[in-house]
Structure 1
Amino acid sequence: MLTAMPFAGHARPVRAVAGELVRRGHDVRVYTGRSYTALFEEVGARTVPWDAAPDVDERDLAATFPRMRGRKGFRQVLVNLEDLFLGTAPAQARDLERAHAAEPWDLLAGDPMALGTRLAAERLGSRWATVSPIAVWLPGPGIPPTGLGLTPADGPLGRARDRVLGAAAGAGTRVLARRYQATRRRVGLPADAETFATMWYSPQLVVAAGSPGLDYPRSDLPGHIRFVGDLTDDGAAPSPGPLPDWWDDVQRATVPVVHVTQGTASVDPRDLVLPAVEALAGREVFVVVGLGHRTPPLPGPLPANVRVAPMVPYPHLLPRTDVVVTNGGYGGVLQALRHDVPLVVAGGDLDKPEIAARIGWHGAGVNLRTGRPRPAAIAAAYDAVSTDPRYRATAARLGAELRALGGTRAAADLLEAHLR
């Protein structure tokens, strides 16, 4: 049994793992929201839709969780954690326990943000693993406080900065950790010793998207955390989908191709898409904008060098792309790097400031340090990334590491070994 939060950035990587397990002959069920059941059934998995858990629509989370309305930045993170992830966990656990009673499984492997996975596994005494489409970057020595988009700092001043900001961030996470313990009590589980950073993950096995080289340097990573690269790799993924009717323009392009994406969660085009279009209009580039499946149409007319589609299949687009301008969604960043493409990253909320900070720190792109950059900042970042070969060289180094880790095949290998 796999679990996946009903969001594109979570469901699609888990679907790739499910598809690989099905191809190996396993009987795979997936517990997810009804809006994503068809996606998993396409690869041969059976689905168990959310029932006791509220069947959320990622296009309008505020309809189910009114406190999310109008929230951005850190306030959005807190409400997401409290209402969506922690708040739905007991109901998720009830759904999973009913599914297990009807048809027991041999292994439960869950999306870390589907926290009901942990609760059900503990209540049932089930062997379980985490399959994480999100970045697994734990606190540790020399690692700056998470959530602030900071990079490592050396010397007494740097250590003092981390102590002060770490204490401030810890105050917020302690509130959520107490909420987690209260959630455990609600489902009849005793208190445990997990912290806010670790409560999402299985202590037995974590199959993590990404690579060690994408994190800051560290030597304290627990042995049960295993990075496997990109969990949407082309070889194990289903058909990439239809191409836009203007695709011939991409194939005929004689200038650099720039892909602009704002992901599938925060989709107000005024944040990044429109400033990027303005920044690149009239330049000797060909701009391909992926709007996601719920962004309103862009106000026209568009510049002559811009093409727009709701979704653009990455297996076709990224091999032709020179630079990606992105809001820092983890899956899209991994796919760009796997194709050796450097990035301009505007990470505004959730985990995206951390992703942007690491991309900038490693030198695989430019961190714009905001989710709503000005056109001039995007233009300057594009000029830097497109003219300095060090960015592409670093992206290629990280891409080689991601490819070497094995992707969905390695994920399936680890889950099979955990079964035994």
Structure 2
Amino acid sequence: MGEARILVASLPFAGHVGALAAVSAELVKRGHDVVAYTGAKYRHRFEGAEWLPWQHAPDFDDAELGRAFPSVGDGKGLKANFANVRDVLVGTGAAQARDVLEAEFDLVVTDHLAFGAAMAAERKQLPWVTVAVTPLVASRALVKAVSAVLAGPMFNRMRAEAGLGPRSGALEAFYSPELVLAQGVSALETTKDLPEQVRFVGRLITATKKPEALPEWWPDLDGRTVVHVTQGTLETGADDLLKPAIEELAGHDVLVVCTTGGAPTDTLGTLPDNVRAAEFIPHDLLLPRTAVMITNGGWGGVLAAVEAGVPMVVVPGALDKPQVAHRVERAGAGIVRKKPKYLKKAVDQVLGEPRHRKRAEELGRQLKTAGGAARAAELVEDVLKRR
């Protein structure tokens, strides 16, 4: 098909950028003129695309969110979660729309929480596609709670500021009526009652580039049972999961590999003999050598583990992570612990029950078959053809 000008919008959070950058790369590969609307920190992730900066909307560093939005604080607890919705997601929405309206495009592909891009497409009466960067909202209780925040004056005030009329509904109002690209596969969902425009596309990720140098301790993985511990890139406080896991697994006959998500490794303190640490290691390199992953339930990391056939122990953090944990346990790909206690016992349980690895491997095959970013780009082009 002919070249189109496509705006790809992502909130400047690492867990959002990965999926949108993967779709962007495929669209660039197919000859489309792509404009990437994201924060300055992540503009380099959208190779081959023109960058549209956050200007009217306040740009921020996701590693220091509380600095740009003091109300969010450390990001923990109901008060911080509400502030995140009010001040970051909804609060910047109208300004995002102003930024996007200054660009020219034929279609928008947007992170489902980057509200401004969807509103800009609505203003211009142009097609738009949603990329769900978290699990689809399946819990009726969660939908009700989120709707109470978004569907009232706050939600419609944002729409009015963007030059649009009021609408009912909350997150569903920002799922495209034409196409929703959902990461994962249906077996990881908790309901079959999904909108007809939803298409599961597996894991949205760009090809891993081998780092210039792996950690000097990388050969220590040879012949060992590796347990990987990660808190992702948003909740990086070492006291939440990393330090408790290190303490629980010290002296165990496994090699524990911790990644800090960008925080200095010395924040972990003195490491036991069976623990290794790095700020970041590409999952596609580490997970094939991993027996069990301990995670706080970040959706991107969970999908990476599933694709690699690695079973998990999930100690859920905030926001969508309890929902992710429920999906992992329900699907049989791991177990859930509400607190980071007795992790040695939990790891031994997963290692001792092959059904968890077998199930992770089954789901991994399904993820790969779903097609990933290439399939997502095909579906985006189908929307263009219909228009």
Structures share a fold, TM > 0.5?
A: yes
Paired residue for 1:287?
256
Q: Are 2:231 and 1:225 aligned? A: no
Q: Deviations over 1:156-191 (max 9, x none)?
A: xxxxxxxxxxxxx73663232111122112222111
Runs ≥4 residues deviating over 4 A? none
Q: Name the residue aligned to 1:164.
A: none
Match of 1:151 in 2: none
Q: 1:324 to 1:8 in 2, by over 3 A?
A: same
Give the aligned length: 378
Among candidates 159, 168, 177, match of residue 203 of structure 1: 177
Whether the 8 Å CA contact 2:208–2:282 is kept in 1: the answer is no
Q: Residue in 2 aligned with 1:30?
A: 36
Question: Using a 3 Å threshold, how does the CA distance of structure 1 residues 399 and 58 change in structure 2: closer, same or farther?
Answer: same
Q: TM-score, normalised by structure 1?
A: 0.86
Aligned to 2:332: 363
Q: Which segment is superposed worse, 46-55 or 127-136?
A: 127-136
How far 1:202 moved relative to its partner? 1.1
What one-letter code is carried by the residue in structure 1 that aligns with 2:382? Answer: A
The whole-number CA distance in structure 2 between the counterparts of 1:243 and 1:393 is 32
Give the SS at the match of 1:30.
strand
The counterpart of 1:309, out of the listed 269, 274, 278, is: 278
Q: How does 1:267-286 map to 2 (within 5 A)?
A: 267-286=236-255
Q: Distance in 2 between matches of 1:187 and 1:222?
A: 26
Q: Which runs of 5+ in 2 are unaligned?
A: 1-6
The AA in structure 2 aligned to 1:264 is T
Matched ranges for 1:6-405 at <5 A: 6-40=12-46, 43-99=47-103, 104-139=104-139, 145-146=141-142, 170=144, 173-178=147-152, 179-193=154-168, 195-218=169-192, 220-232=193-205, 236-237=206-207, 239-252=209-222, 254-294=223-263, 297-370=266-339, 373-374=340-341, 376=342, 378-405=343-370
TM-superposition CA deviations, 1:76-104 (whole Å, max 9, x none): 221111110000000000000011xxxx2
Partner Cα distance (1:14, 1:242) in 2: 25
Structure 1, residues 339-379: CA drift from partner, whole Å, max 9, x if none?
Answer: 11000111121100100111112221111124xx22x2x11
Amino acid at match of 1:18: S
Q: What letter matches 1:57 in structure 2?
A: D
Amino acid at match of 2:55: D
Tell me the SS of whatever aligns to 1:145. helix
Gaps of 5+ in 1: 147-168
Deviating more after overlay: 11-20 vs 78-87: 11-20
Aligned letter for 1:25?
A: G
Percent identical: 41
Pairing partner for 2:371 from 369, 387, 406:
406
- Paired with 1:316 and 1:71, the residues of 2 have a C-alpha distance of 30
Q: TM-score, normalised by structure 2?
A: 0.93
| Residues 58, 382 of structure 1: alpha-carbon distance in 2 compared, 3 angstrom cutoff | same
Q: Distance in 1 between matches of 2:356 and 2:255?
A: 20
Counterpart-to-counterpart distance in 2, 1:171 and 1:136 = 15
Structure 2: distance between partners of 1:282 and 1:126: 59
Aligned alpha-carbon RMSD (Å):
1.7
Compared CA separation, residues 401 and 36, structure 1 to 2 (3 A): same
